[in-house]
């Protein structure tokens, strides 16, 4: 059993020692945190050393109370190779938007969204399938764009961006999405093309039994209509990571 922080540093310096170390446990993480070991170092230890964790909700909450970061909790439950995103996607015909300016907005509410964020996005591709414009939730963004992401636990807030669509566009998609852990709700979407409302054929308010005009995707996520939470109307779209 791991008794102090020294062994962790030995394993990180000499990875072959990991085979001789007993698995890390929840108690080990608590001891490391209390000893002042950084969360970054704990993450490196999780990746390098064997472990046997109790990931029940009560145990994870106890670790959070001890100061264990959300990143550590995420990797305890989902591993290091998880690259997941839950999305609701709609398309805009090229003839409607090529060479024009899009203005897309949505109201978003979150609950315990960590190691990721909820947000709105748009992608524009050319004839070769290359991305030529867009804001979307897996792209590096400027400081002002980062402010458009919802994280943690937040009440309803409006998120908006504008996008100039190049004339060479051959595919235009947009939508809402979430990555990381937690839950997010999306409602009251609006799309404008050169200042004119677009999307009468889309269920932008998520009031239908299913989100008409949107395609759901995201392995490991549930996406569907929530009849108990809404910004306007009676319901919204909820995206959450499957526990």
And the tokens for 167? 């004339």
pLDDT for the residue 176: 94
Domain boundary residue among 45, 78, 111? 78
pLDDT single digits (tens) 182-238: 899 999 999 999 999 999 899 999 999 988 999 998 877 889 999 999 999 999 999
Q: Are 174 and 125 in contact (CB under 8 A)?
A: no
Interaxial angle between packed helices 26-34 and 57-65, expressed in degrees from 0 to 180 and rounded to the nearest 10? 10
Backbone angles phi, psi at 112, to 5 degrees: 50, 45
Share of the chain above pLDDT 90, in %: 40
Q: What is the CATH number of the domain that holds 93?
A: 2.60.120
Q: Specify the pLDDT at position 5.
A: 54
Is it the case that residue 170 has pLDDT exceeding 90?
Answer: yes
In this predicted structure, the answer to whether residue 15 has a pLDDT above a threshold of 80 is no
What confidence tens digit (pLDDT) does each residue in 123-164 have?
899 898 888 887 654 434 444 454 567 888 899 999 988 889
Instruction: Check if the beta carbon of residue 107 is closer than 8 Å to that of residue 231.
Output: yes
Let me know whether 67 and 93 are in one domain.
Answer: no
Q: How far apart are CA 41 and CA 145, in angstroms?
A: 30
Region 89-116: what's the mean pLDDT? 92
Kindly report the average pLDDT of the chain as a whole number.
82
Same domain (yes/no): 62, 119: no
Same domain, 96 and 148: yes
Residue 205 and residue 94 share a domain: yes
Angle at 241 between CA 240 and CA 243, to 5 degrees: 125
| Percent of the chain clearing pLDDT 70 (strictly above) | 81
Q: Two tokens at 184?
A: 């997010």
Query: What's the gap between Cα 230 and its chain centre?
Result: 20
CA atoms within a 13 Å half-sphere pointing along the CA-CB vector of 76: 25
Tokens of 1: 């059993």
Residue 169: predicted pLDDT? 94
d(CA 166, CA 124): 8
Q: What is the dihedral of CA 25, 29, 30, 34, to 10 degrees?
A: 150
Last residue of a domain, one of 19, 53, 78: 78
Same domain, 135 and 229: yes
What confidence tens digit (pLDDT) does each residue in 94-106 have?
A: 999 999 999 999 9
What does the DSSP 8-state code read for residue 139? S
The Cα–Cα gap between 132 and 123 comes to 8
Contact 181, 114 (CB under 8 A): yes
Which residue, 23, 44, 78, sits at the end of a domain? Answer: 78
Tokens of 53: 């964790």
User: What domain range includes position 186?
Assistant: 86-241
């Amino acid at each position: 059993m791991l008794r102090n922080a020294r062994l962790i540093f030995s394993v990180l310096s000499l990875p072959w020692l990991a085979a001789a170390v007993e698995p890390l446990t929840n108690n080990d993480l608590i001891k490391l945190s209390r000893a002042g070991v950084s969360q970054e170092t704990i993450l490196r230890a999780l990746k390098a050393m064997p472990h046997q964790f109790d990931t029940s909700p009560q145990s994870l909450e106890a670790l959070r109370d001890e100061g264990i970061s959300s990143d550590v909790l995420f990797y305890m439950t989902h591993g290091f190779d998880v690259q997941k995103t839950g999305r609701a996607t709609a398309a805009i015909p090229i003839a409607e938007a090529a060479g024009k300016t899009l203005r897309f907005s949505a109201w978003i509410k979150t609950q315990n969204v960590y190691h990721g964020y909820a947000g709105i996005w748009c992608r524009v591709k050319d004839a070769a399938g290359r991305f030529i414009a867009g804001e979307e939730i897996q792209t590096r963004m400027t400081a002002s764009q980062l402010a458009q992401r919802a994280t943690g636990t937040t009440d309803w807030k409006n998120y908006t961006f504008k996008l100039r669509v190049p004339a060479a566009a051959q595919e235009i998609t947009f939508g809402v999405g979430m990555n990381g852990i937690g839950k997010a709700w999306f409602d009251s979407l609006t799309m404008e093309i050169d200042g004119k409302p677009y999307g009468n054929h889309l269920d932008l308010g998520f009031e239908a039994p299913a989100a008409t005009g949107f395609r759901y995707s995201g392995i490991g996520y549930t996406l569907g209509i929530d009849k108990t939470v809404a910004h306007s109307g009676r319901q919204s779209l909820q995206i959450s990571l499957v526990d």
